[in-house]
Structure 1
Amino acid sequence: MRTLSLPARVAPAVGLCFLAPLIAEYLMGNMPITDVAALIPLTIMYGGGALLIREFVRRTGRGWPAMMVFGTAYGMIEEAFVTQTLWNESWYDVRILDYGYLPALGTALPWVLFMVGVHTVWSISVPIAIMETLAGPRRTTPWLGTAGFRVLAGVIAAFVLLVVGYAAIGGIHLAGPPQYAGAALVIAAIIAIGLRLRGGAPGLPGSAPSPWSMLAFALAAGAFFVLLYATDPTGLSPWLARALPVPPWLSVLLYLALFAVSGVLVSRWSRREGWSQAHRLALAAGAVLTYAWHSFPWRSIAPAGLPLDLTSNAVMTVAAIALLVVAALRVGRSAW
């Protein structure tokens, strides 16, 4: 077997570190492409988090269910302790928690569930799926050595502690001890679930749907998800709120139903004969294309005029489509 040089060995890891924030923030439309400086901390937070999860899962022989569960834990850590949006009643001057706010929890369940979906799917799972496709034969093998993995874990831990410590020193307490303690318990429970997921589930009879069917399913589920948040009248993207008013309690039920139905269906399909990397890429592609089209009605949270916002969205959309084409060719035409 040909020995790969160090740059070649770590290339997928470096690619994932940059791809994760580019999808999570820039393709989503949160950041314009001119905001290059923000890419540095975002690469540590999103890219480092995605790589750490991916490396741990592949090193321990776990699979995609564990990958997505750890992605949920990542999202809770980021939103509860790093950015603290779960407790911020006026994030970027937007009253993101007014819709469905529960005083006993100090947060709003519609926003929590929206963040769960955003991070589990787009921040973690999608960039990993795309980069593993591009990695070809190294799809399920570790991309970092033991020392590199430990350094990565240390950097991520230091980054989180630095941000949390800075907020504490500055007196930025957006929630009380019960809320932080509750969030920590939830995160611990999610991680415990992920640790229990080992090996593959038994196969099911029948053939898996085609990759094109998976693409259509991901587009439909993604559209339902982002459009549901657009009905939040006090959210970051309330462009559907007047035309389609949805009470907070119904929004919560719809989010939960979407997660449950999507999870059960994909779990069953993935255990049938014929399920392949093309199917996984198709699901990721549907999510990417959802972010691409939805970036246009979504407005950037960073300072950017409408022309720059739309130009940035167009550039990121073209780049995303080009990346998906390259990944699809990597899988091979016969797989589709």
Structure 2
Amino acid sequence: MRRQRMVAIALLVAVVGLLGLGVVGPPTSDGGIRITPGVPILLVAAGVSWWWRGRPGAVLALVAVAVVTVASLGAGLGPDLIGDRGVPVAVARWVQVVGLAAATYALVRRLVARPSAARTAGERPRRDRSKVLQIAGLLVLCGIGAELLAAYGDSTGNVGGIVFALVFFGALYGAPALLARELVRRLGWGWPSLLLFFAALGMAQAGLIDQSLFSADYGGYEGWEENREPTLIRAVGLSGYNAYSFIVGHVIFSFAAPVALAEAWVPDRARKPWLGPIGVTFAAIAYAVAAALIVTDPESRSGTQAQLLPTAGVVGALVLLAVFVGRRHQEDHAGPGKPGVSIWLVLGVAFVFALVPDLMAATWWGVIGAATATATGGLLLLLAARTRAWTIRHTAAVGAAFLLERGLLAFTYFPLIGDVAAGPKYAHNVAMLLVVALAGWLALRGRAATAPSAERTALPAG
């Protein structure tokens, strides 16, 4: 009964926000109050969730919440939240968002809640605070790997800008990385399916969210046109060099490498879920809000309908392929074994494979060379991971090598936009590299020679 009441109250709070938006927002043609379609939808959802107490009622209410959320994203939710239409509209929007978030959380709790022995006995399970630190570390590392480590923006060396970027990019990259990892680990799938989910996220980021994949001059970054033009396919408005750099870059630096390191920090939890209903809800909301803020930026509207629709199709195909691969190849839980491959050898070889693409020119031959190096490294990783000598530390070594290579390469150039002095620029480079080095040390620090079963095989056999 308490969950039904919480859902109904939260949905009514969202209705209040929508009604407030009609009062303070643009009036109708005759000067009246605008009632958005979301109001009756949420009112019906509140009634359904109250009277239909089973899971079907929760599913129907979640569908209603999803419909209103998607409609709000298309109706300028991002600019409204930051006050582009004034403080009253911003307050109404935040009331709506809080109500939808609370309703989503309560509905998810209704769907996944199971009675536990501890709850039956009246005991409250103890929370593992190290898990919270592990999740927070992953969010930070995703933001650093995706944007700050390369040090190409005008926030380089700006402490305030860096703090804001860590929060924002943690939501934009870390939250979806957490959600994809949570899904794969709950289903018992392995890294191949997880990488395909990351590829879908990378394609969505570059092609649908910031749409940099189709931009002729994104953000005024220096050298954008020079890198784009040599491999530009004019019929589709797509650069082969940018497609490789953005999509593969997101897969590795924004998602895969940070996840590989974060899982190795606590090997006993590497193959276990990390998030509960609250975590899943907040991660989904954080990602949706961050993505909405990017999508609603005029700079991110360079794609045409003829470009966006096929991109969305590719994203969907990658998700379906990830599901297909995951269902065919469950995670391999091989028994303990003595590692037969040096961690430092893996780190060195992976560093070379990370460096080669960055040495290639922005030409078709350069794209072919970079793609060949990446494919070769991926194949070697897959073959090595199928042996009993491979542990989670080896996977972390690969991720650390790619992040270290990007951090070291950032010392060789200045930001591509803005005027940043040498002192703050190099201080930024050193600070980001130290964070990556610390994350790598925590993942690779020495343990017993025998790897426990939870630490075994990072990729599935077969």
The Cα of 1:177 is off from its aligned counterpart by 1.0
1:14-163 matched pairs, under 5 angstroms: 14-31=136-153, 32-34=156-158, 35-36=161-162, 37-93=164-220, 94-95=224-225, 96-163=227-294
1:257-276 matched pairs, under 5 angstroms: 257-276=372-391
1:233-272 matched pairs, under 5 angstroms: 248-272=363-387
1:192-211 matched pairs, under 5 angstroms: 192-198=320-326, 199-200=330-331, 209-211=341-343
SS at match of 1:97: helix
Alignment CA distance shift 1:186-1:296 (3 Å): same
The worse-fitting range, judged by mean Cα deviation, of 290-299 and 268-277 is 290-299
Q: Which residue does the alignment assign to 1:327? A: 443
Give deviations 1:224-274, integer Å, cap 9, x for gaps.
02222xx23xxxxxxxxxxxxxxx221232233123212211111100121
SS at match of 1:273: coil
Q: Which residue does the alignment assign to 2:70? A: none
The TM-score with structure 2 as length reference comes to: 0.62
Q: Provide the C-alpha distance between the structure 2 equivalents of 1:202 and 1:265, rounded to a whole number of angstroms.
A: 20
Q: Provide the C-alpha distance between the structure 2 equivalents of 1:311 and 1:302, rounded to a whole number of angstroms.
A: 18
Give deviations 1:125-184, integer Å, cap 9, x for gaps.
1111111111231121111113421342243234324532x24xx596312211111111
Alignment CA distance shift 1:162-1:315 (3 Å): closer
**1:223 aligned to 2:355?**
yes
**1:5 aligned to 2:138?**
no
SS at match of 2:151: coil
Q: Provide the C-alpha distance between the structure 2 equivalents of 1:27 and 1:39, rounded to a whole number of angstroms.
A: 11
Equivalent residues of 1:216, 1:286 under 8 A apart: yes
Q: Which residue does the alignment assign to 2:32? A: none
**1:298 aligned to 2:413?**
yes
Q: Provide the C-alpha distance between the structure 2 equivalents of 1:201 and 1:171, rounded to a whole number of angstroms.
A: 44
Alignment CA distance shift 1:131-1:47 (3 Å): same
Equivalent residues of 2:182, 2:275 under 8 A apart: yes
Alignment CA distance shift 1:289-1:45 (3 Å): same
**1:183 aligned to 2:311?**
yes
Alignment CA distance shift 1:171-1:291 (3 Å): closer
SS at match of 1:141: coil
The Cα of 1:63 is off from its aligned counterpart by 1.1
SS at match of 2:272: coil
Q: Provide the C-alpha distance between the structure 2 equivalents of 1:334 and 1:328, rounded to a whole number of angstroms.
A: 13
The worse-fitting range, judged by mean Cα deviation, of 142-151 and 113-122 is 142-151
Alignment CA distance shift 1:224-1:4 (3 Å): farther
SS at match of 2:230: coil
**1:308 aligned to 2:436?**
no
SS at match of 2:412: coil
Equivalent residues of 2:181, 2:194 under 8 A apart: yes
SS at match of 2:212: coil
Equivalent residues of 2:180, 2:194 under 8 A apart: yes
SS at match of 1:219: helix
Q: Which has the larger radius of gyration?
A: 2
Alignment CA distance shift 1:138-1:171 (3 Å): closer
Give the CA RMSD over aligned residues. 2.6
- Structure scoring higher RCO (CA < 8 A, sep ≥ 6) equals 1
Equivalent residues of 2:267, 2:392 under 8 A apart: no
Q: Provide the C-alpha distance between the structure 2 equivalents of 1:286 and 1:21, rounded to a whole number of angstroms.
A: 17
Alignment CA distance shift 1:194-1:319 (3 Å): same
Equivalent residues of 2:211, 2:300 under 8 A apart: no
Alignment CA distance shift 1:335-1:251 (3 Å): farther
Equivalent residues of 1:208, 1:272 under 8 A apart: no
Alignment CA distance shift 1:201-1:10 (3 Å): closer
Equivalent residues of 2:210, 2:301 under 8 A apart: no
Equivalent residues of 2:200, 2:319 under 8 A apart: yes
Gaps spanning 5+ residues in structure 2: where? 1-117, 119-123, 452-462
Q: Provide the C-alpha distance between the structure 2 equivalents of 1:163 and 1:322, rounded to a whole number of angstroms.
A: 31
Q: Provide the C-alpha distance between the structure 1 equivalents of 2:406 and 2:310, rounded to a whole number of angstroms.
A: 31
The Cα of 1:202 is off from its aligned counterpart by 11
* Residue identity opposite 1:150 in structure 2: T
Equivalent residues of 1:132, 1:139 under 8 A apart: yes
Q: Provide the C-alpha distance between the structure 2 equivalents of 1:52 and 1:300, rounded to a whole number of angstroms.
A: 31
Q: Provide the C-alpha distance between the structure 1 equivalents of 2:316 and 2:413, rounded to a whole number of angstroms.
A: 33
Relative to its length, the structure with more helix (as a share) is 2
SS at match of 2:345: helix
